[in-house]
Amino acid sequence: MSLQKWTFLLALIVPSIFCEAQQIFSVDYASQADVKVFVVEHASQADLLVFKIDYASQAKGNEGLWFFVDYASQADKKIFFVDYASQADLRIHFVAYASQVGWEEKSKQHLMY
């Protein structure tokens, strides 16, 4: 394999290794989703407390800091917002401050890895 091909492969692989962002894409159909999500009214009803951030660089791991991307190919997870809690894999509540994020139901953490 030529040096040029190796350089190209490294350019693709290295950024994905160091990227910790929780980048989310909202799909149009449930069949396209990795996770089905229901937004609850109160934080006490949620499995995960989520804060929507403005920049991908602000997102970290699987803590609830979500950055919504424009294309499915950019996303770590594709989600579908369902109409009823009974249809959801994960119940979330959007919080007002980044410091409020976190898992309330740790048994569901694996859904967003």
For 35-76, the pLDDT digits (tens) are 999 999 999 999 999 999 999 888 778 999 999 999 999 999
- Asked if residue 51 belongs to a domain, the reply is yes
Domain count within the chain: 1
The residue segments making up the domain with residue 30 are 20-112
Query: Is 42 inside any structural domain?
Result: yes
* 84 within domain boundaries: yes
Give a yes or no: residue 67 inside a domain: yes
108 domain-assigned = yes
How many angstroms separate the CA atoms of 34 and 32, rounded? 7
102: left (phi over 0), alpha (psi -120 to 50) or beta: left
Whether the pTM exceeds 0.85: the reply is no
Q: What is the pLDDT of residues 22-38, one digit of tens each?
A: 999 999 999 999 999 99
